[in-house]
Chains A and B, each alone.
Chain A
Amino acid sequence: MTANRKTAALALHKPKKRYSLLFMVLPFMLIIFLFNYVPIFGWIYSVFDYIPGVPILECDYMGMDYFKMMLKDANVLRSLKNTAIFAVISIALTPLPMFFAIFLNEIKCGPVRKFVQTFTTLPNFISWVIIFSLAFSLFSTDGLLTNAFARLTGTNPSSVLSSKESVYWFQSFLGQWKMLGWNSIIYLAAIAGIDQQQYEAAKVDGAGHFRCAVHVTLPAMMETYVVLFILNIGNFLNTGYEQYMLFKNAVTAPTIEVLDLYVYRIGLENMDYSYGVAISIVKSIVSIALVVLANLVAKKIRGNTVI
């Protein structure tokens, strides 16, 4: 009872400080509102037959026609399947940056660790266009690696870029190569936050590097991992399109076209904006549902939620 009174008294005496904190948050809320909520107005385009240059309310009203059309569109199903495959591979590989961070942490030679970290982080800053050019010079039929591999195995050079079977693993490999170092940064930060006394205690108990990593570092990072995992689930359908657009060709087209790329093709290339918006709306709704579901599962398993 006394404690409650004290808390209430404190609350009464510190209103100014709380308002100032709220004011500090306002610019960020404004940014979120402007860039994340205002664009939702664009959903209105999905119920009109929008023609650029004609005011939206003067365009023909279509109701739910585009949503119904989506259900009959075989391309949606195909691109959804591709998206799901890429997303499942990506989610299956989510522990990689965590393990990479642990291994990086075990490198005791400072300059070597910094070099490895920089070397693996840099690809994140290379655009997909450059990566495509690099991949073309390495993996085309005349490419360096393709030829080296052919010489090594005594087979005819065959480009992985024009192989339908290799699309899923090759694109996932490129994605991991680009993002691994960058994604491991957050885990390195989590490792830096681990109380050193835990390692000392483990060592006193006879733990070596491996045991320390398994019994101290790994459990300490699980919280971070679960948060990121749930966010990844929310991004299940958001694979982006730049990578897939660049690597799309006549051979890879059926397997590489993900939902985002399909929306890009429909909306911007074919200028069928309204249909593109309709697909995007469904994608957003499914994404939100997935986040909520993952959050519920996390609560059930771990007892606490992330959002």
Chain B
Amino acid sequence: MKAKRVLALICTLAMTAGMCTQVTAADATDDLSEHVEITLGGVNVNGSDSNEGWPNEVVQKLEEKFNVTFTVKNYDNESLNLDLSGGTTCDIVQINDDHLEGVLKGKHAVNLEDYKDTLAQNIFSENMTFRNDLMKTYKSNGEGVQYFVTPRVTFEGSKFNYGTTLNNGYVVRWDLYKQIGCPEINNDDDYIAALKAMKEIYPETEDGLPTYAMSAYNDSQLHAYFYKGCLAEGYVNLEGGVYVQNVTTNELVPDLYDVGVEGTTPFWSGVKFYNKLYREGLLDPDCFITKSEDVQEKYNKGQYIGGNVNWYYGTYNENQRAADPETLKEYVTLPEYLGWGNEKNLGGWFGKYFFVSSHSPNVERAVMILDYLQSEEFSRDADSGVEGRWETGADGKVALTEDTIDLKNNGSRVEEWRKSGIGNGILVNICGEDYYNVADDGGMIDLWFEDDMLDDSMTFAEKDMCETMGLTLPSDVLKNKVEAGTSIDLGTCLNAIQMGLATTPKNITRIDSNCEEIAMSAIPNLVQAESDEEFEAAKADLLAQLKDAGAEESVEWWSNAWAEAKTTIEGLNK
């Protein structure tokens, strides 16, 4: 009897406490009198400890505004899982799809809707409605409430351009490409012919090292292969590259197990490309053992004359410019069929979900910070610097100041540049608005993308490229091709469909992971096939292995899940 009374008392107290909590959330105020520490922890986000210039001007402004010390911590899967299991996560956490189920079922996230009218007005602004609907519908475990926000949401009416240079496509060494007469490159065969001609005039580096067309970065599983194919065939990949999305039709296509698929899928296109390079003697013989750092090192030594992405050649270009500001020895990128531009992230960047931890001792302050990260003000600060780094001119147009432009281009002001926080590697990945959104003052969020800013940042080699090829900007090659209809961009791609996919069941995840591993092991035989017959035999062998591993079961699940998500998302987007 006594025990029952105690139990009843505990229940009453718990209910009262629950009611109190609700009252607190609904009546949340912006009390900033107490200084607190707020930490954001994110998967694949760099920590602020190792970020040069931290706390920079943008962070300092945030800290003063909310009376906090703001730090960022890197999570890998294991450390995040440990913190989730122990209930010791950071105040604000950024996760990917792998952790959604655990966060939702384990009740680790704060319901942001409790703060809709008080502390989270940027999150629930009109422009974010589509993103918020996605989060409520697909990322709430069926509860229909909002726990997460995504970064870089593209709004209606955003401007866009292709930037100064391209990030992905057919990479060439400009000096060599110029020497061979800048032949037009419209497909992989044209590109291989150009690479061959460039290698003939540059068989070894100045240090006597052999040169190759390119290699693969083997620490990213199949990425080197399917990503090359995505650019050539017009697809974007889902995580892992086992499935890809057609940019034009928004249909899902099984990338590895292409039985019954019309046309060439990105993986097979990429592998075939590498096979052609191999047969022409252009492929690095260490192609299957090079990891990102090895690829980077060989680019730095000038051993590669081509590539598909701009990730690795930055240091080479910088070194060449440091030695001779008027050098033509620089890598530039020419467009493939798909140009990675005009991307409309209506639901924000997928695979990056931010939430306020229910374990945070300062939930309200964390909600305020997350809301601020989502704001136009913070997004402009992260991309263009705090006000003063940019100003409104007499004509009412917002523009970066001359000093800010000099700050970026003047090598002797590196420290000051870092301290400004402009384009800071952490901040640009956590802010709410897309670079191309138009702010209330009429300027773009990222003022560096304003049309009149683009040609200011060109190097000597890029200017020479424009002069030689009759362009205004290096990226105009893509612009011209899109206008001519020979290339496409991401304008028609509804990438939000990926957010609407149901959680992948574990058995399907296992099959996909196994298929990925099987494909990895089959690549040497495919790439090193000496003839088309040998290639086809290796392909048939791989397809048989994939079938045995359950690829058909996986294709069936993904096709159904995609069809369902596509219908719903297209409906929401109308």
Contacts and interface: CB of A to CB of B under 8 A. Distances in A.
Contact of B510 (A53, A158, A270): A270
B101 A51 contact: yes
A142 B286 contact: yes
Nearest to B509: A270
Contacts of B5: none
Given A142-B209, A142-B286, A162-B286, A51 B105 contact: yes
A90 interface: no
Contact of A141 (B84, B108, B286): B286
Interface of B: 77-78, 80-81, 84-85, 98-99, 101-103, 105-106, 108, 209-210, 218, 284-286, 288-289, 294, 506, 509-510, 513-514, 517, 520-521, 523-524
Contacts of A253: 517, 520-521
A249 B506 contact: no
Interface string A113-138: 00000000000000000000000100
B524 A53 contact: no
13 contacts: A49-B506, A52-B85, A53-B105, A53-B108, A55-B106, A142-B286, A159-B285, A265-B517, A268-B77, A270-B513, A272-B506, A272-B509, A275-B510
Contacts of A280: none
Main secondary structure of the interface of A (DSSP, over half): loop
Interface of A: 49, 51-55, 58, 75, 136, 140-142, 157-159, 161-162, 249-251, 253-254, 265, 268, 270-272, 275
Given A52-B84, A53-B99, A250-B524, A271 B286 contact: no
A275 B102 CA distance: 17
Nearest to B103: A53
A249 B78 contact: no
Contacts of B286: 140-142, 159, 161-162
Contact of B105 (A54, A75, A251): A54
A270 B294 CA distance: 25
Contact of A161 (B77, B105, B284, B289): B289
Contacts of A254: 521
Contacts of A52: 80-81, 84-85, 99, 102
A272 B105 contact: no
A-B residue pairs, 5 tightest by C-beta:
A53-B102, A53-B84, A52-B81, A53-B106, A141-B285
A251 B513 contact: no
A265 B78 CA distance: 13
Given A250-B521, A253-B517, A253-B521, 14 more contacts: A51-B102, A52-B102, A53-B81, A54-B101, A54-B102, A54-B106, A75-B514, A159-B286, A161-B289, A162-B289, A253-B520, A270-B509, A271-B81, A272-B506
Nearest to B516: A270
Contacts of A75: 514, 517
Contacts of A141: 284-286
Contacts of B514: 75
B241 to A, nearest CB: 14
A161 B288 CA distance: 9
Contacts of A136: 289, 294
**Which residue, B286, B289, B521, has most C-beta atoms of chain A within 10 A?**
B289
A250 B77 contact: no
A254 B517 CA distance: 9
A158 B289 CA distance: 12
B523 A250 contact: yes
B559 to A, nearest CB: 23
A153 B210 CA distance: 20
A271 B98 contact: yes
Contacts of B289: 136, 140, 159, 161-162, 249, 251
B416 to A, nearest CB: 36
Contacts of B520: 250, 253
A43 B85 CA distance: 16
A141 B286 CA distance: 6
A159 B218 CA distance: 16
A22 to B, nearest CB: 35
B360 to A, nearest CB: 15
Contacts of A271: 77, 81, 98
A54 B210 CA distance: 54
A249 B216 CA distance: 11
Nearest to B527: A250
Nearest to A247: B289
A55 B86 CA distance: 10
A159 B290 CA distance: 12
A241 to B, nearest CB: 14
Nearest to A262: B517
A36 to B, nearest CB: 20
A53 to B, nearest CB: 3
Nearest to A135: B289
Contacts of B510: 270, 272, 275
A51 B503 CA distance: 13
B508 to A, nearest CB: 12
B85 A53 contact: yes
A161 B524 CA distance: 13
Contacts of A54: 101-102, 105-106
A136 B289 CA distance: 9
Contacts of B523: 250
B85 A58 contact: no
A274 to B, nearest CB: 9
A53 B210 CA distance: 51
Contacts of A142: 209-210, 286
A265 B98 CA distance: 15
B211 to A, nearest CB: 11
A59 to B, nearest CB: 9
A51, A250, A253, most chain B CB atoms within 10 A: A250
Contacts of B284: 141
Contacts of B98: 271
A48 B169 CA distance: 46
Contacts of B288: 162, 249-251
Nearest to B526: A250
Given A51-B102, A52-B99, A250-B523, A268 B78 contact: yes
B161 to A, nearest CB: 38
A249 B509 contact: no
B285 A157 contact: yes
A247 to B, nearest CB: 9
Nearest to A132: B291
A270 B221 CA distance: 13
A159 B285 CA distance: 8
B359 to A, nearest CB: 11
A266 B200 CA distance: 46
A98 B106 CA distance: 54
Nearest to B303: A142
A251 B509 CA distance: 24
B345 to A, nearest CB: 26
A52 B77 CA distance: 10
Contacts of A270: 509-510, 513
Nearest to B225: A250
A275 B513 CA distance: 14
A253 B513 CA distance: 14
A249 B102 contact: no
Contacts of B99: 52-53
Contacts of A55: 106
Nearest to A255: B521
A251 B288 CA distance: 7
B218 A250 contact: yes
Contacts of A157: 285
Contacts of B106: 51, 53-55
A275 B514 CA distance: 14
B210 A249 contact: no
A250 B523 CA distance: 7
